[in-house]
Amino acid sequence: MDSKLIEFLNSHASCRNFTSQKISPEQERIIVTTAQRSPTSSNLQAYSIVGVREQATKVRLAKLCGSQDHVAQSSLFLVFCADLYRLSALNKSRGYSFTGEWTELFIVATVDTSLAACRALMTAQAMGMGGVMVGGIRNDPEAVCKLLNLPEFVYPVMGMSLGFPNKKPKVKPRLPLQAVYFNERYIPSLFEESISEYDRTIDSIGYLKGREVRPEDYPEFQGEYSWSEHTARQMSGDNRSASVRTHMLEFLKSRGFLRK
Ligand SMILES: Cc1cc2nc3c(=O)[nH]c(=O)nc-3n(C[C@H](O)[C@H](O)[C@H](O)COP(=O)(O)O)c2cc1C
């Protein structure tokens, strides 16, 4: 057993503060080629990565991602895109029909992209860098597509700010194992105690202080502002919830995805 590797995997923490040290072109190549070694559905490799170093572009992307400063501060910002364009072009050149509008192909491309992104982040971390995935790239995905010249059948799944950490980020506790791992069969009623336990853990590290979701919508709220309250608010509020990104279905259809 490679316990050093397991220890490394368990030390993951997102990093949002970077020094001015640059990621070298060789380090960038290692990050991307190692990401490419990820498993990929049917070896389709249905993703592309756009690397952004130009400051003006990073500043624009930071704004588009909801004014996330670490995007502009990063040495390298990677945009991980689900990509069926390459495959559609292949079929076109052979005069074959193309199945890219089916939901399954959307899932395939999105999963492939996420697996590659995960490995890219781990590789950067293994080289002493830090980084954070950025779902904010889907706040205004049309504008991102224009800025990065993304063709049809390509959409940005997530961004990734990468650089050298200013300070070591803290490892964030996860839900107790029994809430997420079941023996043989799923048991829907088993998580309540785990969630209370997790609320206490998150409270003890003070992680949610000053991060209340839409406090103006809950003037009557008296209880402890816990992880479960925070998460429930994120998952409610319909189209006022930032987590929902209500434009996504129409946007994805406009790119060619999810039409069937
Ligand atoms: C797909 C994805 C999108 C994310 N988007 C953002 C983001 O836009 N901004 C941000 O600060 N963190 C983002 N994160 C980081 C999560 O907030 C973070 O992983 C989570 O809070 C757990 O913390 P940890 O990674 O430090 O363990 C994202 C993570 C994932 C997996």
Would you give the end-to-end CA distance of the chain in angstroms? Answer: 45
Q: What is the pLDDT of residue 244?
A: 85
Q: 136 C-alpha vs ligand 1 centroid, how far in Å?
A: 10
For residue 67, give both structure tokens.
Answer: 């004014």
Q: What is the pLDDT of residue 182?
A: 94
What is the residue with the minimal CA distance to atom 8 of ligand 1?
134
The span from the CA of 198 to the CA of 186, in Å, is 20
**Nearest atom of ligand 1 to the alpha carbon of 12:** 27
Q: 185 C-alpha vs ligand 1 centroid, how far in Å?
A: 29
For residue 177, give both structure tokens.
Answer: 């194992």
Q: What is the CATH number of domain 3-169?
A: 3.40.109.10
Average pLDDT, stretch 50-61?
98
Q: 15 C-alpha vs ligand 1 centroid, how far in Å?
A: 9
For 238-258, what is each residue's pLDDT tens digit?
666 667 899 999 999 999 999
Burial label, 35 (beta-carbon count in 10 A; 0-12, 13-18, 19+)? buried
**Residue to mutate, 9, 132, 140, 205, ligand 1, most ligand atoms under 8 Å from C-beta:** 132
For 170-190, what is each residue's pLDDT tens digit?
999 999 999 999 999 998 887
Q: Look over the chain and give the mean of its residue pLDDT values, rounded to a whole number.
A: 95
Question: Given pLDDT bands bounded at 50, 70 and 90, which one contains residue 235?
Answer: confident
**Nearest atom of ligand 1 to the alpha carbon of 136:** 8
**Nearest atom of ligand 1 to the alpha carbon of 70:** 11
Q: 78 C-alpha vs ligand 1 centroid, how far in Å?
A: 15
Domain positions in the chain: 3-169, 177-240
Q: Is the pLDDT of residue 52 over 90?
A: yes
Burial label, 74 (beta-carbon count in 10 A; 0-12, 13-18, 19+)? buried
Q: 166 C-alpha vs ligand 1 centroid, how far in Å?
A: 18
Average pLDDT, stretch 124-138?
98
For 94-113, what is each residue's pLDDT tens digit?
999 999 999 999 999 999 99
What is the residue with the minimal CA distance to atom 30 of ligand 1?
133
Q: 242 C-alpha vs ligand 1 centroid, how far in Å?
A: 14
